[in-house]
Structure 1
Amino acid sequence: MAGMLTAAAALWLAGTAGRWRCFQKMGCRGWEAVVPVYRTWLLFHELYGSGRRMLRLLLPVYNVYILFRCGADLALAFNRSAWFGLGLTLLPFLFFPILGFGGAVYLDGSLNVRQPPYTF
């Protein structure tokens, strides 16, 4: 029983530390990654420009899509694949430390700007 609690605490600590570094890379203060509702609002504000979009998480079935979409968009904002975003959603205690402590650089929404392939 004590071993399981120790393992759960270690996984929680790894996920929180990775999320802390991830938020620092996004230009936020690290402690903001620890406050549960505020970190979700801040994440939606950084990714989509409006924190009020997180209210969509209150919709019963649509919230699953929003969670997966948010993970994919966060991964794309760090120049990772959408499959990495799936990992962020399903295994955050493993993928947030990879994102936070790895060499990924936050692109600050530059992927959301769509440009035509050829300009004449």
Structure 2
Amino acid sequence: MENYDPQSAGLFAALFTVFLIPGLVIWLISIIGMWKVYEKAGKPGWASIIPIYNVIVMLEIIGKPVWWLLLLLVPCVNIIFGIWIINLLSKSFGQSEGFTVGLLLLPMIFYPVLGFGNYRYVGPAGAGFAGYKPYDPGLDYKDPFNPTPPPPQV
């Protein structure tokens, strides 16, 4: 007991307060944002907090097979596929690669922005492209790539 320093306990408490509590707040903000992202994609929000199941649901959101989960268990391959999955999530909400970089580097900001913002789920990996709208015969048809309208449906 002669080497005991009573100030070391205070130092530990200070480090706990300075690092752990803000870390928990950032984690909580990210989880809430992810919850909303799952709900916007038509999946249950609680699925975002269940380990392994959240990845399975994310793969459903981006339209990839469940066996991709195995690729996330392979060292080095998991980094590439993790980035790819986040990019496909960004595309599923009609966003670009710039938004993907934001999701990777600042998830505590970009997941709540995606979840609470005006972004809309457009389908697995963007369903082709973000501006996709199915043909409506009641509206004037203006397609910049094909000036002739499609034949009427019977």
Same fold (TM over 0.5): yes
Extract unaligned runs of 5+ from structure 2. 1-14, 130-143, 149-154
In structure 2, what is the equivalent of residue 73 of structure 1? 88
Extract unaligned runs of 5+ from structure 1. none
Kindly indicate whether the alpha-carbon contact (under 8 Å) linking 1:12 and 1:93 is maintained by their aligned counterparts in 2: yes
Query: Identity rate of aligned residues, in percent?
Result: 28
Matches within 5 A, 1:24-35: 24-35=39-50
Task: Give the aligned length.
Answer: 119
Q: TM-score, structure 2 length as denominator? A: 0.69
Distance change in 2, residues 1:89/1:110 (3 Å): closer
> Equivalents in 2 of 1:16, 1:103: separation in Å?
19
In structure 1, what is the equivalent of residue 62 of structure 2? 47
Bigger CA radius of gyration: 2
Kindly indicate whether the alpha-carbon contact (under 8 Å) linking 1:41 and 1:52 is maintained by their aligned counterparts in 2: no
Distance change in 2, residues 1:113/1:61 (3 Å): same
In structure 1, what is the equivalent of residue 121 of structure 2? 106
Q: Shift of the alpha carbon at 1:36?
A: 1.9
- Which residue among 86, 89, 92 is the counterpart of 2:104? 89
Matches within 5 A, 1:54-69: 54-69=69-84
Higher relative contact order (CA 8 A, sep 6+): 1
Question: Cα RMSD over matched residues?
Answer: 2.1
Structure having the higher helix fraction is 1
Partner of 1:73: helix, strand, or coil?
helix
Partner of 1:106: helix, strand, or coil?
coil
> Equivalents in 1 of 2:63, 2:101: separation in Å?
18
